[in-house]
Structure 1
Amino acid sequence: MPATAERHDNGNHRPYTTAPDVEAVASAPGYQLIRRNGAVTPFDTAKIAVALTKAFLAVEGPSAAASRRIHDIVAGLTDQIVANLTRRPGIGRTFHIEDVQDQVELALMRGEYHKVARAYVLYRDERARERAKALAAAHPAGDVTVVLHVRTADGARVPLDAGRLSIVIGEACTGLDGVSPDAVLTEAQRNLYDGITLDELAQAPILAARTLVETEPNYSKVSARLLLDKLRREALSFVAGRPEQATQAEMAERYGDYFCAYVKTGIANERLDPELDRFDLARLAAALEPARDLEFDYLGFQTLYDRYFLHMRGNRFELPQAFFMRVAMGLALREIDREARAIEFYDLLSSFDFMASTPTLFNAGTLRPQLSSCFLTTIADDLDGIFKAVKDNALLAKYSGGLGNDWTPVRGLGAYIKGTNGESQGIVPFLKVANDTAIAVNQGGKRKGAVCAYLETWHVDIEEFLDLRKNTGDDRRRTHDMNTANWIPDLFMQRVEAGGQWTLFSPDEVPDLHDLYGKPFKTAYETYEEKAGRGEIKVFKRVAAVDIWRKMLTMLFETGHPWITFKDTCNLRSPQSHVGVVHSSNLCTEITLNTSADEVAVCNLGSVNLAAHVRVDGLDQARLAKTVKTAMRMLDNVVDINFYTIPEARRSNLRHRPVGLGLMGFQDALQTLRLPAASDAAVSFADTSMEAISFYAISASVDLAAERGHYPSFEGSLWSRGILPIDSLEILSEARDGDVELDRSSTQDWAGLRQRVKTTGMRNSNCMAIAPTATISNIVGVSQSIEPSYSHLYVKANMSGDFTVVNAGLVRDLKARGLWDEVMVSDLKYYDGKVSGIDRVPDDLKALYATSFEIEPRWLIRAAARRQKWIDQGQSVNLYMAQPSGRKLDEAYRLAWRLGLKTTYYLRGLSATHVEKSTLKGTDGKLNAVAVGGTSATPILVEMPPVNGPTVPNACSLDDPTCEVCQ
């Protein structure tokens, strides 16, 4: 071997002379390898092991001890490499030799075999130069011509249409700064071979564009547009019943005809509601905007392709604008002028100004239009009630609903059971059943079922409840998949601050505590404590309140659960306190609706894209008002159109008609306004932006009430008494004897709106809730919900694969200052996607682009508290701590309570984040391929549990698709 790389180990000097050129790698049945000469050979996994072994022996020496150790290492690395290459069945079954070698490099780097990896990289570079030199000598005029053929679905071989490939790549790059069609085409040609399938031909340019994303974010749009071409072929062929394809330019003329045929095809194949055929399809087709197909980033479009677009036996037949129009039609079914409203709804969705929640996108316009996101239930204290609740969970989760269960009424461990003259085993065994049910019902394979169990702090089983997510102890008393949350009354927090005692009870002996809050709860609770002291209560336990609080924070720190939520704040500020009690929140802690034995609370969600409504000089109030007005109408329509799987949900939704309008893209909006998240100005913007959304949402609900009538349980509500969300702060303050630290300022005409609410009424009992928006923000291409960025260059992993994500705003700012170059890319990778450690980045950009773990939690809490002024429900508030400690946790969560937050969500700790440095420009993902990338390093967000420590395998990560149930 002519390689010259050397190693220095223990003073010895040994040249690297192995031949790890994996020239015929891998052999899994059905997989193939493209050799550098274009030939295709079977995939031979044994060659990977041979190459790795030679590499290790060359660097570490051939001693017997080393050989035995190397054998074990190589076996593990080989399994890892083959798994990475073949883990997406049916997609990417043919690999280029360079792709396999990229995976070898990545495995060596992941295993921290850096010397071996370095030698391997240098050897590959040397061989590449030798091949280029030999090719140039053999073809001095550059006249290398290779004739390739494509294998069609029916097995026929046809010449590859190189001209069309060039046109499609050129279209994908049109109008985008900083991208090169030639670079994509050159890289795509590397993955072509004679006999390539149509699917592989479609994937080749997508793979090529993906490798360039880290250097120019616009290549993400290029990748999406190339995937769009693949989708067009699938959809047009399925609808036409014969092979069809079209370029983007050709679709400008064909989209209308396709749309009409798509509706009829969907109905014929029992995927669409036959009622859609009664729309004026020609009118709707004329309103479609084909150019909006080009606005997606790759992550968003791949997510839609994998999980949202309608399909038959894996054949997708729904193009993006048909998808948005289908959802709009489904939401306009009950409108008088259905076409006009459908076009209005379509325009809002397809412009990305607003996005409906995932269940609505999944199911609108279909035969089972279950469009609601969240369901809240209360569990009855008997076997019939418990197992009915488990069954209800399954039925609600089946069609993409996220669940919150109130378990407080169920009697605790040791409580008397009259029917059997025995003692209760408490709630834990039943929680185990609920946990397993959630996993069994996986929502048609689109995402896992998910549920959150809530328990009040005075329940005698609270200490076992806190342990549910631990990885030690009796596994029969653990729920590794279920989310859990504490439902904490103010009295408990007051006892913690006063250093007082706390008494635990079984609810069968103190039944009224479940429905009490505020000062009445305090009175009843103290009465029960006195009775317990006199021996009149059988099951109780006295503990120091601060000990329970410390254990809550300890479990939150160790397992990410249970979350911290506040019962009294949710109830005292609830508009519906006249007809019931809020007993829990939902899966993601933003919904605060009443539940009872005969009512299952339902909420219908959607989110405003705040980034689309902000200019450099502030909020675009007119555009925001228009968006919110239409969005509220869409959400209200869900109540009447919805497919209800249980009668309790239908009864509740029709009686109260709650909706949850939220927002996403808050971090993008701050960056447009040049406001660092850790600043008073950002906190003020959180206040005024939410105030505007609240004002327009309440106003829109009043308008709907004027048109359609107020919701049935309106009379007696806070609304009917002229008490708006900002006014309900006074109720909370009174209950706490004035102990609420919160700004009360406002900017909108609340007096005028208050009078309209009293005289006209509200169409919806609740209007606002800020959900996580994990998936729909990916679709739109903005930051999630109210979340700060946690990295500016990383690889995001979810159910659709692995995606390189770069903060386009940061790149634009760095380009404007002449700082975006290969060195900056390298520095971003070295510093795990953060700019704070890069000396040449100016201080103002470091402040503006501070990531989540560089922002003190108090800033996020303060911003959330200012939003909470205006929200009639809650918000999913994550807290980030780079170095969590008991003191920091205590300060943060006490501050959240004092500032009037209703709920908090995940605690995320930096120490559990592991970022790898790969030698690749891209990572293998949905399409199972990467590009040769020299010695650069891309950070890969492998796992992001919300807590410290490596023993939390089931903790929800930032990119865990099981967190996407709400949206």
Structure 2
Amino acid sequence: MVVEKVMKRDGRIVPFDESRIRWAVQRAMWEVGVRDEKKLDEVVKAIVKRINELYDGQIPHIENIQDIVELELMRAGLFEVAKAYILYRKKKAEIREEKKRILNKKELDEIDKRFSINALRVLASRYLIRDENGNIIESPRELFERVAILSVIPDLLYDERVFDKDGNYEQDLKRVEYYLENFENFDKKYSIGKYKLNKYHFERMVSLYKELAEKGKMKVSIDEFLSMLERGEFDKYEREIEEYFRLMTNQVFMPNTPALINSGRPLGMLSACFVVPIEDDMESIMKAAHDVAMIQKMGGGTGLNFSKLRPEGDFVGSTAGAASGPVSFMHLIDAVSDVIKQGGVRRGANMGILEIWHPDIEKFIHAKEKNVGTNVLSNFNISVGIWKDFWEALKEGKKYPLINPRTGEVVREVDPKSLFEELAYMAWAKADPGVIFFDIINRRNVLKDAKGGPIRATNPCGEEPLYEYESCNLASINLAKFVKYDENGKPYFDWDEYAYVIQKVAKYLDNSIDVNKFPLPEIDYNTKLTRRIGVGMMGLADALFKLGIPYNSEEGYKFMRKVTEYLTFYAYKYSVEAAKKRGAFPLYEKTGYPKGELPVEGYYHRELWNLPWDELVEEIKKHGVRNAMVTTCPPTGSVSMIADTSSGIEPIFALVYKKSVTVGEFYYVDPVFESELKRRGLWSEELLKKISDNYGSVQGLEEIPEDMKKVFVTAMDIHWLDHILAQASIQLWLTDSASKTINMPNDATVEDVKAAYLFAYFLGCKGVTVYRDGSLSVQVYSVEGRKRRYRAKPSEYAKKILLEIVEKEPWIKNLINVDEILNGRSEKAEGITFSLGGFKAGSQHSHTPGREEIPEEKIKELLGVVYCPVCYEREGKLVELKMESGCATCPVCGWSKCVIS
């Protein structure tokens, strides 16, 4: 008889899988550079034969099997391979022990084993429930179960047996109130199949029943509904819970951070993004401060446009005094965020916007000028909102009027070229402000008439343009999971499975709106008027690695466009089906949708279609759509670490870097890159050190083959023009926007920043965040004597696109040096020297982040800006934050300045 079952370390009995033995032996052979398929087949055959002889019809333990593998490798004379396998077993044992320590568990289950140590550290640090003493009392399995259960509760309430979208029923709401007042008594009293609802699940379920009953949509009473639940009449939805649990625990998608933390828990807030209005009166300003406090207390982030506030020095009638201006009130909101602290480890996240026509625009642009050793407006990302009239003034060389928002009168006129240079200089020096292109945001805005005007604000990271008191909940799909291999080992992207998962994630987010506990009634009301969702992506860099496609190539941009087109198309497909059963979003009839409009630029370029958009639009016109907006690309710092994949739509920031753990230091290696090194027999500790010392890049290393250098590129290996092309390629098919960092080397010039803004605008991006390497450092020092970083050059495709833009808009040559961008600067060329408001930029901008000792009194000011607050507070380590997707994120613990990620 043959062995059919194996006992795992946790006592589970699982089917015997010969392929797992083969993979383990193959890895050991690769470790020592042995590539012999015939020998591999012989060894695996001998191992299986020996197992069957020793355990005829019995169930061996996994350790017994591994002992046999060692023995058979030595019998075959593969002593080095056997040694590598023994070391592999030892390493796996150490990993298991480290996982147990992280999770505070004696034994690991199969879910724990799916996640890397890195992922479990992030889960333990921020997501798993702890008791009052700080001890972890929740496992990853329990976390993902509570998230999955909550996400399926709306399915019960929209079941055709209890819901009628055209109904006008009356139900006894006093009984509903009874259950809401006594929800704590119903913990684990009801189930969906094998999944028990905790008291917070129950409260959200009854609350949704109440909301639908108040609209006359509930066909049965609350007591009858609960009786149906008790009788198991909704047990078929157990499969939906299991599917969402499977997708999350297999790292196929992850909800945004608030949903992972708050699902099935007291706060209950699942959204990350909010926009708060602020009007030109003290009552509104203090209401905005209150609203920010309430949102950030629950873990959210806020966007505010300060442009309605009168300028500094303007008349104040109530006091006969002078106004202090928008920037002063930004400091007020910043102080509120500082007090909230969001649990002590996450700073409050805000986006502060001032439109470029405001008289205080220069002061706003310089608001973070003193961010060297002094933490100014540390809870704010700031962005200048630009409209089409500014670009026209810049093009025509005309004076640009600055207008008092209180009176509508022109206060003074400025030179748009000087203002543009001032804006670019501060972004070059301090990575703030960013820019938001409001004319592009509103070009395809189908909600303009329904909401009475254009969108004029975004969430903190900029990927969600929102109206006042709107919110959005987000989730990201791991693209790397859809790269499969055919029988010849050739990679391909599984578009059908991808389409399926997009629709599942869209449904997850749509359901989340109904069980969300919003921080303010105004947000609850306005969110449900449009029912925005944000299906996003992560793992783009890893997917491209697996497919063997360079990020910065024409083929790479083509893939980005297609993968985003699918994302939006199939998110809409779900939304149309949901509208048929549950109804369109309330403002649908007043929007551009019934007229066949879409908030998607790619839709208006038929030559780029891969999918039948005309059929989809006809479906929308006939049935409506459940969600006004459906796709975005948020930062995914922490959630991508949980998913063990690359962050958002960004290229990877380093292929190899050194990390410290309790058992010492080790090199973190991108898993796709690691696999390829081993497949080619290139893996060695010496090579890892070389790559780590080379800023995590393989460029310039002779040990790495040229084809690998083209594919395995890092953020700083890619020219800023290619970064913009990537963002524009993705933006083409999104309903909302994309959060991405335009990485520039330390020696980039102010001219580069100006050029980046211009090209991003003409390529259709909705906003830009530029980050020059080292611009957030506390101190700077010369790079002389240090290893020079690889100098990225624009791809041939990027050059072609640049020239097309210049041909169409020749006037931009008056502002930037196109030849320098195409061909690079001379090594001896000096940076531009000019004076801005008395501050003179140096002639040579060769700076990198300082490593000198920082005075103790300054450290706390720098936490959350330059260094990770969690790593410092828990372990006393100063870990530099990395800048990705316009957001600072810790590469060690996953802490992120952005609420979403």
Q: Which residue of 1 aligns with 2:470?
A: 601
**Cα distance per residue 1:855-892 (max 9 Å; x no partner):** 11222212221221211110002101113112211111
Cα 1:495/1:686, change in 2 over 3 Å: same
Question: 1:178, 1:907 → 2: CA distance?
Answer: 42
Question: 1:852, 1:669 → 2: CA distance?
Answer: 15
Q: Which of 854, 868, 871 is the aligned partner of 2:734?
A: 871
Spell out the pairing of 1:741-820 with structure 2 (5 A cutoff): 745-795=608-658, 804-820=667-683
Spell out the pairing of 1:37-186 with structure 2 (5 A cutoff): none
Spell out the pairing of 1:553-632 with structure 2 (5 A cutoff): 553-580=424-451, 581-595=454-468, 600-615=469-484, 617-632=491-506
Cα 1:178/1:826, change in 2 over 3 Å: farther
Cα 1:459/1:743, change in 2 over 3 Å: farther
Q: Which residue of 2 aligns with 1:189?
A: none
Whether the 8 Å CA contact 1:374–1:587 is kept in 2: the answer is yes
Whether the 8 Å CA contact 1:608–1:664 is kept in 2: the answer is yes
The structural deviation recorded for 1:384 is: 0.7
Q: Which amino acid aligns with 1:588?
A: C
Q: Which of 498, 520, 536 is the aligned partner of 1:646?
A: 520
**Cα distance per residue 1:786-816 (max 9 Å; x no partner):** 1111211114699xx9985212222222222
Cα 1:655/1:833, change in 2 over 3 Å: same
Q: Does 1:549 align with 2:420?
A: yes
- TM-score of the superposed pair, with normalisation by structure 2: 0.67
- TM-score of the superposed pair, with normalisation by structure 1: 0.63
Q: Which amino acid aligns with 1:886?
A: V
Q: Which runs of 5+ in 1 are unaligned?
A: 1-163, 168-172, 184-212, 235-244, 249-289, 511-527, 533-539, 731-741, 918-923, 931-939, 948-953
Cα 1:809/1:892, change in 2 over 3 Å: same
Cα 1:542/1:401, change in 2 over 3 Å: same
Residue 844 of structure 1: SS of its match in structure 2? helix
Q: Which of 873, 886, 892 is the aligned partner of 2:750?
A: 886
Cα 1:846/1:431, change in 2 over 3 Å: same
Aligned residues, how many? 651
**Cα distance per residue 1:901-941 (max 9 Å; x no partner):** 01123424266655989xxxxxx9799999xxxxxxxxx97
Q: Does 1:299 align with 2:98?
A: no
Cα 1:797/1:830, change in 2 over 3 Å: closer
Whether the 8 Å CA contact 1:332–1:341 is kept in 2: the answer is yes
Q: Which of 398, 402, 425 is the aligned partner of 1:500?
A: 398
Q: Which residue of 1 aligns with 2:47?
A: none
Residue 629 of structure 2: SS of its match in structure 1? coil
Question: 1:811, 1:480 → 2: CA distance?
Answer: 37
Whether the 8 Å CA contact 2:880–2:890 is kept in 1: the answer is no
Cα 1:836/1:395, change in 2 over 3 Å: same
The structural deviation recorded for 1:617 is: 4.3
Whether the 8 Å CA contact 1:916–1:941 is kept in 2: the answer is no
The structural deviation recorded for 1:343 is: 1.9
**Cα distance per residue 1:566-596 (max 9 Å; x no partner):** 111111222311223211111100001222x
The structural deviation recorded for 1:408 is: 1.0
Question: 2:473, 2:373 → 1: CA distance?
Answer: 38
Larger mean CA deviation between 867-876 and 904-913 belongs to 904-913
The structural deviation recorded for 1:344 is: 2.4
Question: 2:89, 2:354 → 1: CA distance?
Answer: 47
The structural deviation recorded for 1:433 is: 1.1
Q: Which amino acid aligns with 1:493?
A: W
Q: Which residue of 2 aligns with 1:147?
A: none
Q: Which residue of 2 aligns with 1:667?
A: 541
The structural deviation recorded for 1:840 is: 2.2
Question: 1:927, 1:467 → 2: CA distance?
Answer: 31
Question: 1:837, 1:424 → 2: CA distance?
Answer: 57
Residue 305 of structure 1: SS of its match in structure 2? helix
Question: 1:474, 1:806 → 2: CA distance?
Answer: 33
Q: Which residue of 1 aligns with 2:689?
A: 826
Question: 1:895, 1:432 → 2: CA distance?
Answer: 32
The structural deviation recorded for 1:219 is: 9.6
Larger radius of gyration: 1
- Between the aligned residues of both structures, percent identity stands at 27
Cα 1:835/1:490, change in 2 over 3 Å: same
**Cα distance per residue 1:412-432 (max 9 Å; x no partner):** 112222222222111122111
Q: Which residue of 2 aligns with 1:343?
A: 242
Cα 1:463/1:925, change in 2 over 3 Å: closer
Q: Which residue of 1 aligns with 2:353?
A: 454
The structural deviation recorded for 1:390 is: 0.7
Q: Which residue of 2 aligns with 1:252?
A: none
Q: Which amino acid aligns with 1:504?
A: L
Question: 2:638, 2:353 → 1: CA distance?
Answer: 25
Question: 2:91, 2:726 → 1: CA distance?
Answer: 31
Q: Which amino acid aligns with 1:385?
A: S
Whether the 8 Å CA contact 1:224–1:302 is kept in 2: the answer is no
Q: Which residue of 2 aligns with 1:326?
A: 146
Q: Which amino acid aligns with 2:280?
A: D
Residue 413 of structure 1: SS of its match in structure 2? coil
Q: Which residue of 2 aligns with 1:489?
A: 387
Q: Which amino acid aligns with 1:230?
A: R
**Cα distance per residue 1:757-802 (max 9 Å; x no partner):** 111111111101100111100000000001111211114699xx99
The structural deviation recorded for 1:504 is: 1.2
Question: 1:441, 1:222 → 2: CA distance?
Answer: 42
Q: CA RMSD in A?
A: 3.6
Residue 348 of structure 2: SS of its match in structure 1? coil
Q: Which amino acid aligns with 2:513?
A: V
Cα 1:825/1:803, change in 2 over 3 Å: closer
Question: 1:657, 1:220 → 2: CA distance?
Answer: 48
Q: Which residue of 1 aligns with 2:256?
A: 357
Q: Which residue of 2 aligns with 1:964?
A: 898
Whether the 8 Å CA contact 1:663–1:786 is kept in 2: the answer is yes
Cα 1:857/1:591, change in 2 over 3 Å: same
Residue 542 of structure 1: SS of its match in structure 2? strand
Question: 2:721, 2:428 → 1: CA distance?
Answer: 18
Q: Does 1:708 align with 2:527?
A: no
Whether the 8 Å CA contact 1:684–1:863 is kept in 2: the answer is no
**Cα distance per residue 1:77-113 (max 9 Å; x no partner):** xxxxxxxxxxxxxxxxxxxxxxxxxxxxxxxxxxxxx
Question: 1:755, 1:458 → 2: CA distance?
Answer: 40
Whether the 8 Å CA contact 2:315–2:322 is kept in 1: the answer is yes
The structural deviation recorded for 1:724 is: 2.2
Q: Which residue of 2 aligns with 1:441?
A: 340
Whether the 8 Å CA contact 1:560–1:946 is kept in 2: the answer is no
Q: Which amino acid aligns with 1:703?
A: E
**Cα distance per residue 1:2-39 (max 9 Å; x no partner):** xxxxxxxxxxxxxxxxxxxxxxxxxxxxxxxxxxxxxx
Whether the 8 Å CA contact 1:913–1:942 is kept in 2: the answer is no
Residue 352 of structure 2: SS of its match in structure 1? strand
Question: 2:599, 2:623 → 1: CA distance?
Answer: 17
Q: Which residue of 2 aligns with 1:694?
A: 568
**Cα distance per residue 1:306-354 (max 9 Å; x no partner):** 2111121222221111110111112222321443332222122112111
Whether the 8 Å CA contact 1:221–1:296 is kept in 2: the answer is no
Question: 2:406, 2:388 → 1: CA distance?
Answer: 22
Q: Which amino acid aligns with 2:734?
A: I
Whether the 8 Å CA contact 2:637–2:889 is kept in 1: the answer is no
Q: Which of 304, 307, 313 is the aligned partner of 1:405?
A: 304
Cα 1:803/1:631, change in 2 over 3 Å: farther
Question: 1:747, 1:966 → 2: CA distance?
Answer: 31
Cα 1:444/1:664, change in 2 over 3 Å: same
Q: Does 1:860 align with 2:723?
A: yes
Q: Does 1:903 align with 2:767?
A: yes
